[in-house]
Amino acid sequence: MATAHKNTCPPEGQPAVSAAEAPVSATGNLAGDVPSPENLLSEYTALRERYQRTTNALASAAHDLKTPLSILNGYVELLQSEKLGPLSDRQREVLRDMQSNGKRLQQFIQDFLTFSALETGGLQMHFAPGDINDCLSEVCRLWSNRFQEKALALYFLANDKLPVFPFDAPKLERIISNLLENSFKFTPQGGTVWLHAEPHMWERRAAVQPSAAERRRQNVSHPNSVKVSVSDTGPGIPAEFHLEVFDDFFRLPGTESQEGMGLGLAIARRLVQGMGGKIWVESDPAGGCKFSFLIPYKPATGAASKGKNR
């Protein structure tokens, strides 16, 4: 069978694109020209500013949606309480649907606001000494009903080897919640999810490796961080996507039909980095994946400002 080919080659002696049609960059360069470092820098700055303005505009639109939405959710709750009159079974069902969709929308808005605050450097970390076990069991408690409803087992055992150390508890809960939400969403019914935390000795790679004496002096054999992991028996994540899953708005091919915007892990990454830690994923080709992150016992000075970069 003959196939039609579009001829993309220009006739001999003519440029592929005329100068008038050639795309021109923000700084006036023809796309074919080699841009100077100064042009590249001012182009980057202009793009960065435009990106921040767009993020801010979207964030303020999202913020404006928050108040009317919580008023609507409040009215749904009022109707559900039957203080305004008894409800039929059908009406209760409709209100349940309205409530769960209202909550979903609230979560989307909250995610987007966190994302833009992190992106524009507007989110501050508040470190206070605390017991991380309390934090982890509180998140498990919040998720336990939903796991039960989907017949998923959720295991967490408090670890008494973990010391009290300074961390940002609400942000840590947010990170774990985002990881548990993914395991909940992607693990099929009947599966298992484990939440685990343990002391960890984190040896950061330095440009110059310390000598043995220096290492002894720094007491590096002692744990200096906590390692928190969420593992599941879901489909896992192919190795080629292990870095990309932490990008903004990234979703694995084939998972687009699931709810979500592809922001949960990007937010988790920024929050972990904001506490001076790091996050990664491991996955077995046979299925299941394990997300782990490290949080140092002593937050590095200026840790929060590093949250924006990988």
Ligand X SMILES: Nc1ncnc2c1ncn2[C@@H]1O[C@H](COP(=O)(O)OP(=O)(O)OP(=O)(O)O)[C@@H](O)[C@H]1O
What is the nearest approach in angstroms of ligand X to the Cβ of residue 99? 19
Chain position carrying tokens 């008038």: 20
What is the nearest approach in angstroms of ligand X to the Cβ of residue 179? 7
Q: Is 86 exposed, middle or buried (0-12, 13-18, 19+ CB in 10 A)?
A: exposed
Q: Which does 251 bind (CB under 5 to 8 A by kind): Mg ion, ligand X, none?
A: ligand X
Q: Which does 233 bind (CB under 5 to 8 A by kind): Mg ion, ligand X, none?
A: none
What is the nearest approach in angstroms of ligand X to the Cβ of residue 149? 18
What is the nearest approach in angstroms of ligand X to the Cβ of residue 281? 8
167 vs 186, beta carbon nearer ligand X: 186
Q: Which does 273 bind (CB under 5 to 8 A by kind): Mg ion, ligand X, none?
A: none
CA distances to 144, 235, 243, 253 from 240, rounded to whole Å, are: 32, 15, 8, 12
Separation between Cα atoms, residue 130 and residue 122, nearest integer Å: 24
79 vs 265, beta carbon nearer Mg ion: 265
Q: Which does 250 bind (CB under 5 to 8 A by kind): ligand X, Mg ion, none?
A: ligand X
In sequence order, the 6+-apart residues with CB closer than 8 A to the CB of 47 are 26
What are 193's strand-pairing partners? 154, 232
What is the nearest approach in angstroms of Mg ion to the Cβ of residue 139? 14
In sequence order, the 6+-apart residues with CB closer than 8 A to the CB of 58 are 112, 116
What is the nearest approach in angstroms of ligand X to the Cβ of residue 301? 29
105 vs 252, beta carbon nearer ligand X: 252
Q: Which does 237 bind (CB under 5 to 8 A by kind): Mg ion, ligand X, none?
A: ligand X
Helix (H) or strand (E) holding 9: none
Q: Which does 235 bind (CB under 5 to 8 A by kind): Mg ion, ligand X, none?
A: ligand X
Structure-token pair, residue 182: 């993914």
Helices 37-80/89-119 angle, 10° precision: 160
Separation between Cα atoms, residue 249 and residue 47, nearest integer Å: 19
181 vs 282, beta carbon nearer Mg ion: 181
Quick one: which of 220, 225, 198 has its CA closest to 209? Answer: 220
What is the nearest approach in angstroms of ligand X to the Cβ of residue 240? 13
Structure-token pair, residue 128: 């206070």
40 vs 252, beta carbon nearer ligand X: 252
224 vs 251, beta carbon nearer ligand X: 251
Helix (H) or strand (E) holding 217: helix 212-218
Residues that bind Mg ion (CB under 5 A): 182, 264
Residues that bind ligand X (CB under 6 A): 111, 178, 182-183, 186, 232, 234-235, 237, 245, 250-252, 255, 260-266, 289
